[in-house]
Amino acid sequence: YKFIHNYFMDDNTSLSALVNNYDTVLCGILDELAPVKTRSIIVHPNALWYNEIADAKKKRRRLERKWRSNRLDCNRANYLAQCDVVNEMLHKAREEYYSTIIRDNAHDQRVLFWVVPRVEEN
């Protein structure tokens, strides 16, 4: 504190020089106490077969919150029915997506060998 106070008390400096010095000192202190950390974030795009399924999942989460808040059997039945709907939509969407790729690239072995491991994962 004394260093900063004495540093800025010089009467011969202009206002802009004082502001620059103040900024430099405070940035130096901030860098010592909390250095900048860099992070790399990888954004994974949604799968191409993922379309209206997001809305069905939102509805499923909403029904789950409702069921967990009051524990009524009718709300649980609605939640489980929506779970079945979402799972069926996911299964059909994946099936249609990969079937289309296989059908469109029936003569391209490179694409077919790319698709096979992904189909086996799901």
Residues 53 and 86: beta-carbon distance below 8 Å: yes
- pLDDT of 105 higher than 70: yes
> Hey, what are 11's tokens?
């009467």
- pLDDT, tens only, 41-62: 998 887 766 768 988 999 999 9
Nearest one of 95, 101, 103 to 115, comparing CA atoms: 101
Answer with the residue of higher pLDDT: 78 or 15.
78
Name 54's Cβ contacts closer than 8 Å, sequence gap at least 6.
Answer: none
Residues 83 and 99: beta-carbon distance below 8 Å: no
Residues 78 and 63: beta-carbon distance below 8 Å: yes
- pLDDT, tens only, 2-44: 555 555 566 666 778 878 888 888 888 888 889 989 999 998 8
Residues 98 and 106: beta-carbon distance below 8 Å: no
Distance CA 86, CA 93 (A): 10
Torsion of CA 111, 116, 121, 122, to 10 degrees: 90
Residues 54 and 35: beta-carbon distance below 8 Å: no
What percentage of the chain reaches a pLDDT higher than 90?
Answer: 48
Q: What is the pTM of this model?
A: 0.57
Answer with the residue of higher pLDDT: 121 or 33.
33
